[in-house]
Chains A and B, each alone.
Chain A
Amino acid sequence: MQSLFRRIRVDGNKPYVRAYHPYLFLLPGFVIYLVFVLLPIAGTLRYSFYDWTGFSEPIYIGIDNYRRLLSDRDFWQALSHNFFFSIFYTILPIMLGLFLTSLLTRSRLRGLAVFRTGLFIPQIMSPVVVGIIWRWMFQLDGPINQMLNTFGLGHLARPWLGDFTFAPVAVGIVGTWVEYGLAMVLFIAGAQAIDEDLYDAAKVFGANALQQFWYVTLPGLRQQILVAFVITFIASLRIFDLVFVLTRQGGPGKATTVASILIYQEAFQRNRAGYASAMAVILTLIIVTISGIVIYLQSRSDQQEAL
């Protein structure tokens, strides 16, 4: 971006002029962004103050939707499910990603590219495909229960996605399976940028593999961990498709209902688009706030380190 703001010399004799034509190249992209992202966001914000079915004449009702939202148990319960899922979408993938990174980068592994690609595949698959595959995996006579039976753990076999206790965990595990690849690829790229001398130095001081990981790899990956955290955390708050395919309306009961499912139900099944908009606004604010805090804390600690 910096180059856009640089004064460039157009002609040897004339003074520097500000170049504006680079902006023209941004225009098509910006127009698309404006029409398909910014305007709908503005529309959502506006309709959150209206009583609106999605096709009726909107009636302005001030902050009534928000007031009602405060005491809507379903919404806060759904949000708490989102935070529960962030363990599976964020924490576990980052830990798994770090583990795989240390495996794949610190040892001389044959066929590294094959492993890396294979492990990344879940991330690039369509969530609907992932959902259908895992729905089958979790079936009563599906591979997971069959495996448990094979290992003599038949008493643990159960209808996973229909079980009030285990359905949230089952859906979460699918999330981990999808997200760890992203974390891993980010970390592998980051690890390759860590100066090999640091490892040599650590070895000289007698650091074992675990200490090398703790004192060299981990600090070296701080930026990547932050990026992975923000991306996967936002993903955990936005979950929709996986739940929609795996447990439909977020069942059993409301055990796996998340905020986006609720927004979808309010807007398209109950024709309460205004109320759904208010939910969407709150969800967006939560995402922006938490991401903002994380990025701010990180940049502050970076500055302190630089001093």
Chain B
Amino acid sequence: MLVKRSLVPLLAALCLVLVLSGPAGAQDTVTLTVWDNFTREAEQEMIEALHAEFEAAHPGVTIVRESYETSDLTALLPLALSETTGPDVAMINQGIANMGALVQAGLLLPLDDYAEQYGWLDRYAEGLHRRNRFTEGGEQFGEGNLYGVSNTAEVVGLYYHRDIFEEHGLSIPTTFEEFESLAQTLIDAGVTPIVFGSLDGWPAIHEYGALQNVYATLEELDALIFRFEDGTFDTEANLQAAQKLVEWVNNGYFSEGFEGMDYDNATTSAFVNRQGAMWLTGSWMSGTLVEQLDEESVGFFLLPDLEGSEVPLATGGVGLAYGIRATSEHADLAAEYIDLMTGPRAAELLFEQGYLPAVAVDEELLTEGTLTADVVHAWEAISANDKVGHYLDWTIPYDEIVASLQELLGGQITPEEFVAQVQTVYEESAE
């Protein structure tokens, strides 16, 4: 009896709470929920400015935004997008394990009609749009429907201290051979050519990828990444790249003790403190370097290829892509929002924030001889000439490729074993 008596008011109170918290005041207003990865404080102003413009143009529309670090965003999205209360617009990471899995689960809306309506396909090269393409059901990567549009870009190349180059009478190399002789000059002078740290794992993907771009063709790499029928890791080019990487390690191209250096602290400070002439990493560091060093003291160039092509293949791509939840009730509005966030107005603001926008930057905003101009030009060159190479972890499980590269760098396995090992993982992960 005691139980019953004490529970009745409790249950009544509970019911009341439930009734009160039910849908209220959802008549005229529309709420557009957006999940992005703009978590830095300086970025808030930029996003809020764009949101204010959007809301002013659409009376009654309120944008509710949630920001997450990329890794959190990636982990949370699958569940969030399966809910009918999930985000209408979300920034999605590319690759089979991320966007691919979401398409497979039917959680994303194909954007092809909107792309035509707003002219999104003209914003940047088709080779880059492919990274946001999957066939219906997510069977094939790199073809089929468009599931996202990006507003930022990145390119992996070499930052260099201009004065160290001058001191040793060096100029930007135009062939791979020239690059290696440049590195040898530095080594002979007791200067570490390339700062590098492999403790965090992923930077090794970029060093190897750069060498892969030297030896492989884009067709080979496309087949590997998008898993076309002839896609394989077991190629002569991949073996050559692995052999060259080991050679570089043995010849002292990289920082001493690179195995124990992390990226954010050890490697970054090694470059900033001039403990090496160059740094082979992505354009995402240019903002930090401009902040910490003089904008004119550092430059950026792409690792040249064997033939000395004017625009060599370079790893890069477009950043996280805006996509729409398949079950969103406000898809049209969401598309309009994406149009704003990936358009020229957003590009200008992104550029001010130190981002490399996916769309071309107004030349007037650039000053020749600065790091920013170097980076923008490098990106525009590979983007316009369809010379954008891929990140290996889009198709090979991240932990496996990183472990294999660390084993290769540490001399635990030979280049031949490395290629065989990665090929096995590539085949196994096809299931």
Within 8 A of A (CB), among B150-202: 198-201
By the criterion CB–CB under 8 Å, are B398 and A249 in contact? yes
A271 x B101 contact (CB < 8 A): yes
Stretch at the interface among B30-38, B211-219, B251-259: B251-259
Chain B positions within 8 Å of A20 at CB level = 3
Question: What's the Cα separation between A251 and B201 when bound, in Å?
Answer: 8
Q: Which of A152-179 contact B (CB under 8 A)?
A: 158-164
Residues of chain A within 8 A (CB-CB) of B407 are 164, 252-253
Contact B260 A265 (CB under 8 A): no
Nearest-Cβ distance from residue B217 to partner chain A, whole angstroms:
29
Instruction: Give complex CA distance A268, B76 in Å.
Output: 10
Distance of A170 from chain B, by nearest CB (Å): 9
Over the window 12-52 of chain A, the binary record of Cβ atoms lying under 8 Å from chain B Cβ atoms (1 yes, 0 no) is 00000000110010000000000000000000000000000
- Is A269 a contact partner of B260 (Cβ separation < 8 A)? no
Chain A residues, Cβ within 8 Å of B101: 53, 55-56, 271
| Given A55-B78, A248-B199, A248-B200: A163 in contact with B259 (beta carbons within 8 A) | yes
Select one of A54, A162, A257, A265 contacting B198, CB under 8 A: A162
**Tally of A interface residues using CB under 8 Å:** 33
Shortest C-beta distance, A277 to chain B (Å), equals: 16
A158 contacts B257, C-beta separation under 8 Å: yes
Residue in B78, B201, B260 whose beta carbon sits within 8 Å of that of A249 in the complex: B201
Q: Is the CB of B403 within 8 A of A251?
A: yes
Bound-state Cα–Cα, A41 to B97, Å: 26
Flag if B105 contacts A138 (CB, 8 Å). no
Do B257 and A159 touch across chains, with their CB atoms under 8 A apart? yes
By the criterion CB–CB under 8 Å, are A162 and B260 in contact? yes
Q: 0/1 per residue, A118-152, Cβ < 8 Å to B?
A: 00000000000000000110111000000000000
Pick the contact of B199 from A164, A247, A253, A270 — CB < 8 Å? Answer: A247
Distance of B231 from chain A, by nearest CB (Å): 18
A160 and B3 form a contact (CB under 8 A): no
Whether A159 touches B259, Cβ cut-off 8 Å, given contacts A247-B199, A251-B406, is yes
Interface membership of B412, Cβ < 8 A: yes
Contact pattern, B 236-271, Cβ under 8 Å of A = 1, otherwise 0: 000000000000000000001111111001100000
Chain A contacts for B3, CB-based, 8 A: 20, 24
CA distance A54 to B81 in the complex (A): 12
Residue A222 is within 8 A (CB to CB) of chain B in the complex:
no
Complex contact A161–B75 (CB within 8 A):
no
Is A159 a contact of B78 with CB atoms below 8 Å? no
Is B343's beta carbon under 8 Å from chain A?
no
Interface assignment of A203: CB less than 8 Å from any CB of chain B: no
| Contact across chains for A265 and B266 when beta carbons are under 8 A apart | no
Which residues on A sit within 8 Å (CB–CB) of B78? 53-55, 271
Contact of A55 among B82, B201, B409 (CB under 8 A): B82
Q: What string of 1s and 0s marks CB contacts (under 8 Å) between B74-112 and chain A? A: 010011011000000000000001000100110100000
CA A268 to CA B407, docked complex, whole Å: 24
B327-356 interface with A by 8 A CB criterion: none
| Residue B128, interface by CB 8 Å | no
Taking CB atoms, residues of chain A closer than 8 Å to B198 are 162, 251-252
In the complex formed, the residue of B with least CB distance to A264 is B399
Which residues of the partner chain B approach A253 to less than 8 Å between Cβ atoms?
A: 403-404, 406-407, 410, 412
Contact of A269 among B81, B105, B399 (CB under 8 A): B399
Question: Taking the complex as formed, is B42 at the interface, i.e. its CB lies under 8 A from any CB of chain A?
Answer: no
- Given that A135-B262, A249-B402 are known contacts, is A56 also in contact with B410, CB under 8 Å in the complex? no
Alpha-carbon distance between A249 and B407 when the two chains are bound, in angstroms: 13
B397 to chain A: closest residue by CB: A270
Q: List 5 additional contacts besides A55-B81, A164-B412, A252-B410; criterion CB under 8 Å.
A: A56-B101, A56-B104, A160-B260, A253-B407, A269-B97
Q: List 13 A-B contacts (CB under 8 A).
A: A54-B79, A55-B107, A140-B257, A161-B260, A162-B261, A162-B406, A162-B410, A164-B407, A248-B201, A249-B399, A252-B198, A252-B407, A269-B399
